[in-house]
Amino acid sequence: MLQDRYRIVGTLGSGGFSSVYKARDMRFPNVTKLCAIKEMVISTPDPQMRELTIKSFEREASMLAMLDHPAIPDVSDYFTEEDRSYLVLDIIRGKDLDQWLEESTEMLDQTTALEWAIQLCDALDHLHNQRPQPIVFRDVKPSNIMLDQYGRIVLIDFGIAKVFETGDKGTMIGTEGYSPPEQYRGRAEPAGDIYALGATLHHLLTKQDPRLEPPFTFNERPITKANPKVSPEFEAIIMRCLAYDPVDRYPNAQALKLALEALRRPGFAATAVSPTFADTAFSAVPVSTAVTPPLPGLPGAASPTINQIKPVWTFKCEDEIRRRVAVANGMVFVSAYDNNLYAISQTKGEFVWKFPAMDNVGGSSPFVYEDNVFIGSVDRHLYSIQTRTGRQNWRFLTGGPIYTSPRIRFDHAFFGSDDGHFYAVNVRTGRSAWKARAYSAVRSTAYVDDERVFFGTEGGYIFCLELASGKTVWQAQAKRNVTSSPTLANEIVYVGSHDATVYALDAASGYVIWRFRARRPIVSSPTVYDTVLFIGSADGNLYALDTDSGRQLWTFETKGQVTSSPAVSHDAVYIGSTDGTLYCLSLRKGDLRWRFDTDGRFIASPVVVDDMIYIGSSNHTLYALPA
Amino acid sequence: MNSGDNARHALPNTQPFVYEAEEEAGDGIGKTDELPPIVIPGVKGIISGTSGSAAKAEAIIHYAKRCDIGARDRNEDSCIAFATETGGHFTMMPFGLYIVADGMGGHTNGHVASKIASRQAANHILKEIYLPLLAHDTAPQIGIRDTLVEAVQIANTAVYQDEPEVDSGTTLTVALLLGNRLHVAHVGDSRLYLHTDEKLEAITNDHSLVQRLQDVGQLTAEEATVYRYRNVLLRAVGQGEEVEIDTYMRLLPKKGKLLLCSDGLCGFVADDAINNILNEDKPIQQMVDDLYNAAIAANSNDNVTVILVEFSL
């Protein structure tokens, strides 16, 4: 019993410094008249501070008692007993919007949200227009907004409790997430309520709880992305409420209400909102975060551009092309499954010569060094061929088919063979400098720098050998085959594996720095550009990963497998898929720029040279396309 | 990818790679008995084959630390520093582990939280990375980033479960120096700096309200030092079942310094002033004391923890 009048019959809620009780007013002994009593603990032990706190409380309570608005519960009494102050209010039957958020399964529709927002503006406008001082609610958030039994909005639990809080070191303050930045500096002004209303609407419409996000990050979580039924105009209004700087928000609740009401009018068109609203709303947002990452390009989305890309020329081989071509000395060198290495003129796509091996060369990608082109073959040889004439300089025999491409450094060709060995061969003489055991077939093309050679094996190892001697520096182990060819950037070796993992290994030690898991095996070889790594997977995706952490930046989904390796040129990344399409995507976000559809499958990787893309297909055709 | 695997026996990690003399030369031209060396420009002759890192000059890493109660009644900071020195023909890969934790104050047992977090994290990293390095002399095939994240997550669980009724928490900044690379896991507002060529660079970003308010232009750096809620963290270890962790990775320069500190230093002493101290030619313990004294001179009212690592890789 409080004041010999209010009998506590239950608890409605409690927070850090205050509780709300359900009480019966015994002044009405014959009927059950219920009220809500907010109890606030005066925590300061200092008697002077205590006196000040009580005075401040009483001043605010008197002001609240003067209010008369349907969306604000009437204050009928207030008093202080010992170290607690009490506020007696009308009890509101219904549920608060926090409960509503918990219980609702659907996204909030715009019509209802507008209705609530307008009612809230009306209540805030009433508070802010109090004289001599505007009343600042200070704590607009879903749990402080009731939906009463008639479906009307009522603001409960005034931020008066803030008078009783002390800045507790190390813990997070009050209603983190809804409060405006300036409130953290102790400024409580009407513009803060407008921000908190915007934050509340953002939460209601997106169901993303701002208390679980870093503060002031609403602009990084666009409403229309979470709830596409919300109109861009409504979003723009809410974003203007959420501007960091109070002067960029609506000047008052009335102005906000007018903007909201304009949206509600039947036949509302985009022009109903002054475009300056939208402009202002976003001007307060840093450019870097205002641009929202669009959804990964859907193949259908750009259908108008399908096949608008026309090949500059095509060249037909006698069998499939599955490997990257080499472009050098004015020619394109193509290895096909028909045993031939073709030389084709770069500008016109005309046949120059072809070199027949004893068996298929289609598993190896040609490599040009000075005036010679090098190619491995299933006939177990590595061939050195003159680029001008197509005549053989020498051939080097290994113990098994060669499915890798040679890499040449310091006049030596470095390559692996299915015989489970890795070779260094002098390109002038065709003689071996060294041969190292790899214990299983090598189908991964090596990355060679000035001192080391890196490659994967079908046995699931990644090797680092000394370039000079072929001695091992380190070996690392994946869970399955490493057919993907490694690349090196910033002293990190990146490679994919059939175990569906991308590995980032320290080049000096072989330590795994990070791993990234795709859904299906990775045969594709990584391409690094700046701080982004691009790699495809049999799960159909092209992945863009942060090189330092392996964090996924974006993905692009194709309808087939991505076994080919991405090519990067200017601000675009090119990728082929077994769905028969070559995709051109924006480098930063993976947006589809254009696509080129064929009746074959792209297993080969594209090559970009002089603003032209060269890529072979399983339909035997080599395409030259404008980049 | 762990020991005990059958594949491991077929390819022992601890043996040098089997080097085979050339048996079958290609059927190309000019077959001779002598193998031509691969001549690398700028290098005399052939690089001699070595196993492990025996041929390299040994890296030098040393550190100094101070974890001081400062102007408080209780020291709620904790730190751990761990470095190895080996000698002999086979040097070991440079290894150093440095951790700073700053417990959240008041009634919430911050000193316990920072102790638990720093030691649990160190325990996991030593077990998963350092001990395999001693035992196998080679790379453990676990992800370093994953291990660091696990370590902080374990620390988080330990603090969270220690006294569930107490709302305790701590910052946690973990710096692992491995080979010529720096790996970092970080939660809170303790900091890690890299100092090289007389320049100081903050590697970590603070998860604090003051930082966030500065990011959105609502507070200047000067205002931040006197801001009322400057101790409010947006993320801390031990506040929930899981914690979001930032990671960083850097290839280190040949020479430089790492500075880990609690906000008892960096909340009061500006980066420029810290840089000036680190630019001086003094023993690192003296620099650590100078940093501490600078914090006290700047009226630091907090515990002050400083770990300074000097490396030459």
Q: What is the pLDDT of residues B127-153, one digit of tens each?
A: 999 998 888 766 566 789 999 999 999
CA gyration radius, chain B: 24
Q: What is the spatial order of strands in the sheet that A552-557 belongs to?
A: A527-529, A532-536, A541-546, A552-557
Higher pLDDT, B19 or A254: A254
Give the pLDDT of residue A160.
57
pLDDT digits (tens, 9 = 90+) for A306-353: 456 889 999 999 899 999 999 999 999 999 998 999 999 999 999 999
- All domains of chain A, ordered by start, with CATH? 6-90 (3.30.200.20), 95-165+174-290 (1.10.510.10), 299-626 (2.130.10.10)
As given in the structure block, the two tokens for residue A150 are 């008639």
- A448 in contact with B, Cβ within 8 Å: no
Chain B segment 205-224 residues within 8 A of A by beta carbon are 209, 212-213, 216-219
Please name the residues between 102 and 121 in chain B that touch chain A, using a CB distance below 8 Å.
104-106, 108, 110
CB proximity A246 to B under 8 Å: no
Q: Which residues of A touch B208 (CB under 8 A)?
A: none
Window B:246-305, CB contacts with A under 8 Å: 247-249, 251
For the segment B38-94, what is each residue's pLDDT rounded down to a tens digit?
Answer: 665 544 433 333 334 444 567 889 999 999 999 888 899 999 999 888 888 877 888
Pick from A92-96, A448-452, B182-186: least confident: A92-96
pLDDT band at A531 (very low <50, low <70, confident <90, very high): very high
CB contact under 8 A, A245 and B138: no
Q: Looking at A60-69, A301-310, B229-238, B301-310, which range is the least confident one?
A: A301-310
Beta strand segments in chain B, E = 19-20, 60-68, 77-83, 95-102, 172-178, 181-187, 191-196, 199-202, 246-251, 255-261, 304-312
* Chain A contacts in chain B segment 62-101 (CB below 8 A): 93
Task: Give chain A positions within 8 Å (CB) of B142.
Answer: 512
CA nearest to A335, candidates A370, A369, A378: A378
B4-41 tens-digit pLDDT: 343 333 333 333 333 333 333 344 433 344 455 666 55
Looking at residue A176, its pLDDT comes to 67
| pLDDT at B247 > cutoff 90 | yes
The answer to whether A208 and A187 have CB atoms below 8 angstroms apart is: no
Write the pLDDT tens digit of every residue in A399-436.
Answer: 999 999 999 999 999 999 999 999 999 999 999 999 99
* Cis upstream peptide for A132 (omega within 30°): yes
- Show residues of chain B in contact with A429, CB under 8 Å: 28-30, 36
* A406 contacts in chain B (CB < 8 Å): none
Residue A293 has pLDDT above 60, yes or no: no
Q: Which residues are paired to A506 by β-bridges?
A: A492
* pLDDT for B2: 42
Whether chain A has a CB inside 8 Å of the CB on B154: the answer is: no
Which of A196-210, A264-278, B101-115, B155-169 tops mean pLDDT?
Answer: A196-210
Residue A174 touches chain B, beta carbons under 8 Å: no
Rounded to an integer, what distance in angstroms lies between the CA atom of residue A568 and that of residue A594?
A: 15
Determine the Cα–Cα distance for residues B213 and B209; give it in Å rounded to an integer. 6
| Coil, helix or strand at residue A30 | coil
Among B121-135, B203-217, B270-284, B294-308, whose mean pLDDT is lowest? B203-217
pLDDT band at B239 (very low <50, low <70, confident <90, very high): confident
CA distance B284 to chain A (A): 28
**Residue-level length of chain A:** 627
Phi, psi dihedrals of residue A553, rounded to the nearest 5°: -95, -45
Chain A CB contacts of B183 under 8 Å are 513
Query: Average pLDDT, stretch A187-215?
Result: 90
Q: Which two tokens stand for residue B176?
A: 């692992």
Give CA–CA dist A297/A593, Å, rounded.
Answer: 9
> Out of A76-80, A134-138, A469-473, which region has the weakest mean confidence (pLDDT)?
A134-138
CA distances from B151 to A525, B79, B128, B233 (A): 31, 15, 10, 20
CB < 8 Å to B50, chain A = 471
The confidence score (pLDDT) of residue B144 equals 93
Q: DSSP letters along B21-48, please?
A: ---S--SSS---SSPPP-PPTTS-SSPP
Average pLDDT of chain A to the nearest whole number? 87
The interface predicted TM-score (ipTM) is: 0.76
Q: Are strands A447-448 and A452-456 parallel, antiparallel or unpaired?
A: antiparallel
pLDDT reported for residue A212: 80
- The whole-number average pLDDT for the span B173-185 is 95
Q: Which of A259-263, A327-331, B231-235 has the lowest mean pLDDT?
A: B231-235
State the pLDDT at residue B105: 67
Give the C-alpha separation, A138 to A162, whole Å: 9
- What percent of chain A is predicted at pLDDT more than 70? 90
Per-residue pLDDT tens over the stretch A544-600: 999 999 999 999 999 999 998 999 998 999 999 999 999 999 999 899 999 999 999
- The pLDDT, as a whole number, for residue A411 is 93
* Nearest beta carbon to residue A168 from set B35, B106, B183: B106
Instruction: Look at residue A121 and give its three-state secondary structure.
Output: helix
Class level of CATH domain B60-312: alpha beta
The answer on pLDDT for A23 being more than 60 is yes
A50-86 exposure pattern, b = at least 16 Cβ within 10 A, e = fewer:
eeebeeebeebbebbbebeeebbbebebbbbeeeebb
Residue A614 has pLDDT above 70, yes or no: yes
Q: What is the pLDDT of residue B137?
A: 65
Pick from A59-63, B168-172, B189-193 the range whose average pLDDT is largest. B189-193
| Chain A, chain B: beta-carbon pairs less than 8 Å apart | 217
pLDDT of B16 reads 30
Contacts of A44 (CB under 8 A, 6+ apart): A50, A53, A166
Q: Is the pLDDT of residue A288 over 70?
A: no
pLDDT of res. B8: 34
Residue of A361, A522, A364 whose CA lies nearest to A443? A364
pLDDT at A435: 95
- A124-138, A172-186, A270-284, A339-353: lowest mean pLDDT where? A270-284
Q: What is the pLDDT of residue A239?
A: 95
Q: What is the nearest CA distance from A226 to chain B, expressed in angstroms?
A: 22
Helix, strand, or coil (residue A194): helix
CA–CA dist B290, A341 (Å, integer) = 70
Q: Give start and end residues of each alpha helix (H) in A82-230.
A: 97-103, 110-128, 190-206, 223-226
Which residues does chain A have within 8 Å of residue B49's beta carbon, measured at their own beta carbons? 466, 468-469, 471
Confirm if A405 and A366 have CB atoms less than 8 A apart: yes
B240 touches chain A (CB under 8 A): no
Tell me the mean pLDDT in the region A200-215: 90
Which of A270, A221, A268, A261 is CA-nearest to residue A242?
A221
Which chain A residue shows the shortest CA-CA distance from B31? A431
Strand partners for A86:
A39, A79
Pick from A453, A477, A498, A505 the residue to mutate for testing the B interface (most B CBs within 10 Å). A477
Give the residue-averaged pLDDT of A374-384. Answer: 96
A30 versus B187: the higher-pLDDT residue is: B187
Q: Which chain B residues are closer than 8 Å to A472 by Cβ?
A: 16-17, 51
Partners of residue B43 in chain A, C-beta under 8 Å = 468
B183 touches chain A (CB under 8 A): yes
Contacts of A506 in chain B (CB under 8 A): 139, 144, 178-179, 181
CB A450 within 8 A of CB A481: no
Indicate the range of A17-31, A57-71, B129-143 predicted with least confidence.
B129-143
Domain boundaries, chain B: 60-312
Q: Looking at residue A38, what is its pLDDT?
A: 85
Asked if the model's pLDDT at residue A217 lies above 90, the reply is no
Please give the pLDDT value at position A181.
83
- Closest of A108, A97, A71, A111 to residue A261, by C-alpha: A111
Is the CB of residue A131 less than 8 Å from the CB of residue A75? no
Question: In 3D, which of B215, B211, B176, B191 has the Cα closest to residue B295?
Answer: B191
Q: Inter-chain contact B13–A460, Cβ cutoff 8 Å? A: no
Asked if the model's pLDDT at residue A467 lies above 50, the reply is yes
